[in-house]
Structure 1
Amino acid sequence: MRVWRFGLLLIGAPVLSGCVAAALPVLAGATVLRNQFSEGQDAPRRAEPTAQPGSAVRAEDLVGREFRTEDGQVVRIIGAGQLPPPDGAVPRAATAPAAARPAEVAVPGGMQFLYGSAEAAAISIQTYQALWRYVDDRVLDRLAGQDVASVVLASDATLERMTFVPCAGKPLAVVFDVDETVLLNTGYEADDARRGTGFDPDRWSRWEATGAGQVEAVPGAVETIEAMRRREVAVIFNSNRASANAEGTAAALRAAGLGEAVHGDTLWLKGDAPGGSAKDARRWAIAERYCVVAMVGDQLGDFSDLFNSGDAPPRIRRNLAAQTMIAPMWGTGWFLLPNPVYGAGVTGGYEEIFPPNLQWADPAEE
C-alpha cells in the first residue's frame, strides 16, 4: 500500500486506495462508509463520503495520528510541511554548492507543465479518480450478475458506427499505455531538454533498455492500479516500446511502483502483433482473453487506430474526437491524460490551429 506523497491525505476527496480509504476519516465533517452487497455479502466498493452535520474534524487534529487498515497495515497522517520532495531525494541545494550545479537549461513549456507542475499532477489524479470510480462500478455490475460491456472497438467499427468486441463473461481488465500514462520518462526528457536536439530513436531505444532508475509514476497511477489488482481486475500494459526492450520496460514499471508486468501476458509491445506502431491488433489479442472495461492513454491511438488513419489535419482530428459518436466515450471507458510534450497532439501550423475566422487583431494596432 502506498500513501499519497503530496498531501492528499489532508483533503476531503475520496482517495483511490481502498486500504487508505478504509483507515482515513474524510475531513470536513464526513465519514467513510463501506457499501454492502445484497444479502449481506461484502462487496468491493470505493469509499464514499457521507455528510455528518455538526461533526467537523479539523485537519490539524489528525496530523500525527495513526489508523489501521483492513489488511492490518498502519497509515500515519502527516502534515504538508513534513512532505519530502516528490522523488524523495534531498533537495539539491542541501547536497551541492551553487558553483557545482549545471548551467541553467531552458526547459520547454510542455516539459515544465507535464513533469514539473502541480496542475499536471492534479489533472492526472483527477483522471485516475474518475477511472477508479468507473471501473469499480463495473466490478459491482459483474458481481450483481449484470452484463458488462467491452470498450475495445471491433475490427468492423468506424468512428461513426461503433461496435465493440463482446465480453462473453471473460475476466475484467483495464488496458494502460505506458509512457506518460502510467510512467513519466523524466530522465529521458531531462536529457532531451539539456541537448535541445529533438527526438533521436537510437537514444530512445537506449533509454528503454537502461532508464529504469530515472522514471517516476504518473500521479494517481500506483494507487489506482493497486486498487484494481485488489479487486482482481487484470492490469494490462500496451506500449509502443520495442519488444526487444521488454526487460527494460518491465524494470521501469517495477521501479516506479507499478508492479510486475510479464511480456506477452500483461505487457504488450511493438512487434508483438501485426501493425507496427498501430495498437488495434494488440488490443484485439488482449480482448480475446479479457473483458476490457476501460482504456487509459495520452494519445488518441491508445484507444483506436481509426484516429490516426489518413493523416487528418489537427482541426479535423479534433472534430473526430469531439463531434462524432465517439465523444461520449471520454470518461466512460476511455480516459485520456495530458501530454503537451510529444505526439500528434502537439503538431500543426499556425492556420491549422487558429482558423482565419477565429483570428483576432488588436484594433489599437490597425
Structure 2
Amino acid sequence: MIRAVAALMLSPLAGGCVAAAAIPAVAGSMIVKSQMDKKRERRVEVQAAAPAQSVDTPEGRVTVIKGMTALPPPTGTPPAAAAAAAAGGAVPETMQYLYGSGESAGLSMQAYRALADYLTKNVVYRRRETLRQVVLSDGSSLNAPLFEPCGAKPLAVVLDIDETAVLNLGYEADAARRGGGYDDARWGRWEASGADKVVAVPGAKAALDAARKAGITVIFNSNRSNANATATEAALDHAGLGPAKHGETLWLKGDDGGGSGKDDRRWAIASGYCVVAMVGDQLGDFSDLFNDPRMTPAARRAFAATSPVAELWGNGWFLLPNPVYGTGLKGGFDDVFPTDRRWSDPAEGVK
C-alpha cells in the first residue's frame, strides 16, 4: 500500500506532490482479488493492534472505533408508524416525503448540482499529483482518517444505486400497499424483474453526464446482489444513468466475497482509480466504520458532524435524503432527544 497521509481538517484532494506511475483501470473483480486479500489481512492486523479509544467532541465523549469485525445487515424495516399507515392503505409519511415531495426533489437536485460543480470546477483543474482519494484508507478511524495519493490514476466518482441514483418506485409502491416489514426474498425478485419500474433521482442524470463529459468515470457500488447484475445494468440504463458494466463500472454485493460492507469494494475500485467523489444515502456508502454495531446513534451523529471526516461533506462526499429505510433509522428517545434539551410547556404547570 502507498503510504497514507493523515487528513487533519483538510480536503483529501489537497496535498503535496507525489511521484507515481500510471496504474491501469480496474477491469474486473478477479483482477484485484489478491489485492483485496492483502487488504483483509492488513485490516485484521490493524484491528488487533488498535483498540477502541474515547475522545471528547462538542456533543460529548464518544468512542472511536478503530476497526470492525462485523457489519449489521440492512433490515430495511420501516418504522412501526409507517408500517401501520401502509397496512391501512395510506402512503407512509416517509414515502410521501422521499418519493412524492418537492422538498425531497429539491434536496436531491441541490446535492447533485453541488457534485457537478465540485467535479467540473474544482477537481478537473487540479494538478494530478496533488489529488488524493476520498476513500478512507485501510487502517483509518473516523477520528483519524487516512487518504492515499492518486498519482496518475484516472479520475472516478463512486455512487450507491438505490435511493441515491435511482428511486425504486415499483418496489416501494408494492411495499406501501402491502405493509409489514422488509422481505429479502421479495427484494431479490424486485432486483431481477423491476428494471423498468425505476426512475432517476432528480439531478442525477445531469450530474453524471457532466462527470463523463469531463473525463471522470462513473462507477456504481451497490449492495444489490451480483446474481442480478444484468438486471441492475438494465435498471441503470432505463433510468438514463448507464452504461454500467458489472466488474468494471458496477460493483455488487458478493463481488468481494463478503456481505453488506462496502469497504473492500471501495478499496478495490481505488486500486485502479483516483476516487475524487462519493455519493450515497447512508453513511455506510462512505465508510463501513459508521456502521460498527458498538457505536451508539449519538456517537454516530457526533462523528458525522464534528470529527475530521465531517470536512468531507460537500467536499468529496455527497449525501442524499432517505427517511424510508436504512441504518440511520434507529435510536431511542434519549438518543434522539438529549435530556438537557428537554422542554415542558409552562402552561401545563409543573409535573
TM-score, L = length of structure 1 = 0.70
Residue equivalent to 1:288: 271
Deviation, structure 1 residue 352: 1.6
Distance across 2 between alignment mates of 1:112 and 1:162: 37
Residue 150 (structure 2) pairs with residue 167 (structure 1): yes
Deviation, structure 1 residue 304: 0.5
Of residues 205, 209, 225, the one that matches 1:222 is 205
Deviation, structure 1 residue 351: 1.9
Residue 249 (structure 2) pairs with residue 266 (structure 1): yes
Deviations 1:296-333 (A, max 9, x none): 00000000011111342211110011111111111100
Residue 120 (structure 2) pairs with residue 138 (structure 1): no
- 3-state SS, counterpart of residue 344 of structure 1: coil
Alignment of 1:4-83 (within 5 A): none
Residue 208 (structure 2) pairs with residue 210 (structure 1): no
Of residues 222, 227, 232, the one that matches 1:244 is 227
- 3-state SS, counterpart of residue 326 of structure 1: helix
Of residues 87, 90, 109, the one that matches 2:93 is 109
Of residues 177, 192, 206, the one that matches 2:160 is 177
Residue equivalent to 2:303: 320
Which AA in structure 1 matches 2:110? Q
Contact 2:131/2:149 (8 A) holds in 1: no
Q: CA RMSD in A?
A: 1.4
- 3-state SS, counterpart of residue 308 of structure 2: coil
Of residues 334, 339, 343, the one that matches 1:351 is 334
Residue equivalent to 1:49: none
Q: Between Structure 1 and Structure 2, whose CA radius of gyration is higher?
A: 1
Q: How many residues align?
A: 262
Residue equivalent to 1:32: none
Distance across 2 between alignment mates of 1:311 and 1:181: 26
Deviations 1:138-160 (A, max 9, x none): 11214xx5522210110011111
Contact 1:187/1:215 (8 A) holds in 2: yes
Which AA in structure 2 matches 1:269? L
Distance across 1 between alignment mates of 2:211 and 2:294: 36
Distance across 1 between alignment mates of 2:151 and 2:314: 23
Which AA in structure 2 matches 1:252? A
TM-score, L = length of structure 2 = 0.72
- 3-state SS, counterpart of residue 130 of structure 2: coil
Which of the pair has the greater relative contact order for Cα pairs under 8 Å at 6+ separation?
A: 2
Distance across 2 between alignment mates of 1:146 and 1:277: 33
Distance across 1 between alignment mates of 2:124 and 2:301: 32
Distance across 1 between alignment mates of 2:332 and 2:91: 22
Deviation, structure 1 residue 197: 1.1
Deviation, structure 1 residue 180: 0.5
Deviations 1:91-130 (A, max 9, x none): xxxxxxxxxxxx9831111111100000101111111111
Distance across 1 between alignment mates of 2:231 and 2:315: 32
Alignment of 1:332-343 (within 5 A): 332-343=315-326
Contact 1:165/1:287 (8 A) holds in 2: no
Distance across 2 between alignment mates of 1:312 and 1:189: 29
Deviation, structure 1 residue 359: 1.9
- 3-state SS, counterpart of residue 194 of structure 2: helix
Deviation, structure 1 residue 343: 0.7
Contact 2:129/2:152 (8 A) holds in 1: no
- 3-state SS, counterpart of residue 155 of structure 1: coil
Distance across 1 between alignment mates of 2:214 and 2:88: 46
Which AA in structure 1 matches 2:178? R
Which AA in structure 2 matches 1:354? F
> 5+ unaligned residues in a row in structure 1: which ranges?
1-102
